[in-house]
Amino acid sequence: MTTRPYVIDQMISAKAIAARVEALATEITAHFKGTDKLVVVGLLRGSFVFIADLVREIDLPVEVDFLEASSYGNAMSSSREVRILKDLRGEIAGRDVLVVEDIVDTGFTLKHVVSLLRSREPARLEVCALLDKPSRREVDMRATWTGFTIPDEFVVGYGIDFAQRNRNLPFIGKVRFTE
């Protein structure tokens, strides 16, 4: 895959991410205190680094499951189709569910996933998103917990890709095209 040449400017350091993940996990642990039925659901693929760090800071018994959704723009309407490419392996009825997402952008993906999972009647369902770009929102959707609110920049690293690359960067950076 070739793209226009670009560089990545660091936006959020690995150290700042680690501190924020720890704080989020403390709030999540307090919220679900006493539960023995928590399932942490990572949305593939962008959340895989975040969920790995987050669950290790959550001081509760947890199960981990994954779901992969893909969205396609539809030029003919203002809505977007979201498809489930890989569903959960486990049942979530009556469970406490924490959905972990990398970025909330237009909000279509999260809105679709949350309404799908709610239809399965979990006891509680909350969302933790690493990044939020509120200026891009097209549907009313907010995570329960957000790591960082960022401006309308295309970001990579810490699990997040540009054309499938840069997921392995330990920090979050913005893509800047050089020509």
Catalytic residues: 105
Q: Which residues bind ligand IMP (CB under 6 A)?
A: 46, 71, 101-110, 154-155, 160
Query: Interaction with Mg ion in 39-98: which residues (CB under 5 A)?
Result: 46
User: CB under 8 Å to 130, separation ≥6 — which residues?
Assistant: 47, 50, 101, 102, 103, 146, 147, 148, 158
Tell me: does residue 159 bind Mg ion (CB under 5 A): no
Alpha helices (runs of H) in 41-176, residue ranges in sequence order: 48-57, 108-118
Angle, alpha carbons 9-152-155 (nearest 5°) = 40
Q: How far is CA 175 from CA 38, 95, 104, 113, 148, in A?
A: 36, 39, 18, 27, 17
Q: How far is the CB of 44 from Mg ion (least distance, A)?
A: 8
Residue closest to Mg ion when measured from CB atoms: 46
Instruction: Identify which of residues 45 and 124 has a Cβ nearer to ligand IMP in the complex.
Output: 45
Q: How far is the CB of 3 from Mg ion (least distance, A)?
A: 19
Query: 14-31 and 48-57 are packed helices; what angle lies between their axes, rounded to 10 degrees?
Result: 60
Instruction: Identify which of residues 109 and 146 has a Cβ nearer to ligand IMP in the complex.
Output: 109
The answer to whether 143 touches 110, Cβ cutoff 8 Å, is yes
Q: Cα dihedral sign for 172, 132, 41, 69?
A: negative
The mark string for 31-50 relative to Mg ion (x by CB under 5 A, - otherwise) is ---------------x----
Instruction: Identify which of residues 40 and 60 has a Cβ nearer to Mg ion in the complex.
Output: 40
Q: How far is the CB of 92 from ligand IMP (least distance, A)?
A: 20
Q: How far is the CB of 97 from Mg ion (least distance, A)?
A: 17
Instruction: Identify which of residues 8 and 60 has a Cβ nearer to ligand IMP in the complex.
Output: 8
